């Protein structure tokens, strides 16, 4: 039984993920909220690698609600690039445009994941351990 009385009142303005395509998020496989440390849930540490984040390097993954608690997952650039790359493979298995060198950019998902990866790779590196990516 979920205790809805603990639901937090909506913030005056919901933060849209700045520059991050929210519809890609389900493909990237965010870790389970219960597995996050306090720092990860608050966006102070990378949600995937756990390295400390600074405003300059953090990728905002939007605001999420879990059991009435708001979490603010953020990622470092290398981790988001790695996750985007990982998400491309299972997607492209069943996607015809993604198999075609001349047309994969036409795929909204494949093209967006690729752009996300390329943009992230241009950003300064994070502090996550390499094997966490």
φ, ψ for residue 65 (rounded to 5)? -115, 135
Size of the site for Zn ion (CB under 5 A): 11
Segment 16-55, which members bind Zn ion (CB under 5 A)? 46, 49
- Interface stretch with Zn ion, choices 19-27, 55-63, 73-81, 113-121 (CB under 5 A): 73-81
Q: Least distance to Zn ion from the beta carbon of 114, Å? A: 10
Identified binder of Zn ion from the candidate list 24, 27, 61, 98, rule CB under 5 A? 98
Identified binder of Zn ion from the candidate list 58, 59, 71, 76, rule CB under 5 A? 76
Binding positions for Zn ion, rule: CB under 5 A: 46, 49, 76, 79, 95, 98, 107, 109-110, 126, 128
């Amino acid at each position: 039984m979920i205790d809805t009385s603990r639901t937090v009142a909506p913030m005056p303005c919901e933060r849209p993920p700045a520059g991050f395509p929210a519809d890609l998020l389900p493909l990237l496989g965010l870790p389970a909220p219960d597995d996050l440390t306090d720092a990860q849930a608050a966006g102070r540490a990378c949600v995937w690698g756990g390295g400390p984040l600074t405003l300059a390097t953090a990728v905002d993954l939007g605001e999420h609600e879990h059991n009435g608690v708001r979490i603010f997952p953020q990622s470092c650039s290398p981790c988001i690039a790695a996750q985007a790359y990982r998400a491309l493979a299972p997607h492209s298995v069943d996607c015809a445009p993604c198999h075609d060198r001349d047309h994969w950019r036409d795929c909204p998902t494949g093209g967006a994941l690729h752009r996300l990866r390329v943009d992230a790779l241009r950003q300064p590196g994070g502090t996550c351990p390499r094997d966490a990516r």
